[in-house]
Every structure is written in C-alpha cells, then in structure tokens.
C-alpha cells in the first residue's frame, strides 16, 4: 500500500501551520493582541474566508510560545485579566524569514500572499517589492494560461458539433478569472507607486 497520501496529508498540515504562523507573527509586529482577536483576523484573512476553531487557534499559540516566538503578558487595562500575545525578538526574526521565503505555486499560494500583504509594514521596501514581484509573476503566469484556454474555447464555438452552452459558460467562467487576474495586476502597480511615494517622502525628511 502506498504511503504517499499520508505523506501528502502531513505536508499539507505543516504548510497550514506555517501559513498561520506567518499571519500571527505578522499581526503581532504591530501590537500585542488577545487570542480571540487573532482568531478573528486569521478567519478574515484566509482565502476563501472560513472559521477557525479555538481548538486550532490556542494550541497553535502555545506552540509558538514553546518555540520562543511569542510570550503571554498580562493586560493591565483588561478587567478580566486576559493575557495578550507578545512577539519576541526570536519571533521577529522568524517573521522576517517567512516574509522572505519563496511562495510555492500550490493551493495555499493566494492565502500566503494575502498574509504577507497584511504584514508588509513589518519589512523594508526592498522586501515589499520582491513580494510584489513574485505575486505579479504568478498572476501573469495564470493570466497567460487563462488567455490561451479562452482563445481555444472561442475557436471551438465555430464547430457546429460542439456543446455550445457548455463552452459559453466555460468562457464566462474564464472571463471572471481573467478579470480577477487583471485587477490583481492593477493593484500591484498601485502598491508599487505607493511604495515609491513613501520612499521619496522618507528621503525628503532625512535630507
């Protein structure tokens, strides 16, 4: 019996943990946060959006604490004495490593990029631009494939024996994918402009 399904499942589990690790550490670079708020942010950042149970969230936070990436501190302003997650220097180093890691072109690609975008303020402009470059390359690759299939399907419409209703809806589905790709590429361009504007403003302040 092949062990491949078990290995694949194990790899997916590892990737999912790294995915959550990236977002949690990225969010904590901005401020300390409770486990409840981290869970809400995690849920809203996943693509597609889905619920994260406490049974997933809190064991993950404990593992991050055991690795020395976060620590739990008392919140003096909270009447319920809730503990807040606080990122450590080791956690910041781990976060920067994850931000610099290459994103695999698999099912987790979109979520990883979204998590990186959310944490962009925690890295320098050079890293920000590299992340945008990687995202753009992936989107252009998708766009090229979608366009080729789109062209092929349009050509099929000239075949009187083809299933035209099926082809028409396949084309409409691809139209959606093409629109999403183009919107992402436009968004990347706008982000680059903002990064350059921020860089010029900072350079002007330091002169």
pLDDT at 6: 46
Residue 50 pLDDT > 90? no
Q: Express each pLDDT in 125-165 by its tens digit.
A: 999 999 999 999 999 999 999 999 999 999 999 999 999 99
Banded pLDDT at 17 (limits 50, 70, 90): confident
Instruction: List the domain boundaries for the chain.
Output: 1-103, 124-207
Residue by residue, DSSP assigns 21-66 as HHHHHHHHTT--B-HHHHHHHHHHHSSS-----HHHHHHHHHHHHH
Residue indicated by tokens 């949690």: 24
Question: Which H or E run contains 85?
Answer: strand 83-87
Residue 95 and residue 87 in contact, taking contact as beta carbons nearer than 8 Å: yes
CATH code of the region 1-103: 1.10.10.10
Has residue 113 got a pLDDT over 50?
yes
Q: What are the respective helix, strand and coil percentages of the chain, to the nearest 5?
A: 70, 5, 25
20 or 187, higher pLDDT: 187
pLDDT at 111: 87
């Amino acid at each position: 019996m092949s062990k491949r399904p078990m290995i694949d499942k194990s790899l997916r589990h590892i990737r999912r943990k790294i995915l959550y690790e990236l977002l949690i550490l990225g969010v904590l670079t901005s401020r300390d946060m409770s486990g409840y708020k981290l869970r809400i942010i995690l849920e809203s950042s996943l693509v597609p959006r889905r619920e994260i149970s406490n049974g997933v969230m809190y064991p993950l936070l404990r593992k991050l604490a055991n690795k020395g990436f976060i620590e739990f501190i008392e919140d003096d302003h909270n009447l319920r004495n809730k503990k807040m997650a606080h990122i450590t220097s080791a956690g910041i180093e781990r976060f920067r490593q994850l931000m610099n890691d290459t994103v695999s072109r698999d099912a987790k690609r979109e979520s990883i990029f979204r998590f990186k975008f959310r944490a962009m303020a925690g890295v320098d402009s050079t890293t920000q631009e590299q992340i945008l470059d990687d995202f753009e390359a992936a989107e252009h690759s998708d766009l090229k494939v979608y366009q080729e299939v789109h062209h092929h399907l349009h050509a099929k419409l000239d075949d009187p024996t083809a299933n035209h209703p099926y082809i028409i809806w396949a084309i409409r589905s691809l139209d959606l994918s093409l629109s999403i790709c183009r919107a992402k590429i436009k968004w990347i361009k706008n982000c680059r402009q903002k990064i350059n504007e921020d860089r010029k403003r900072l350079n002007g302040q330091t002169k």
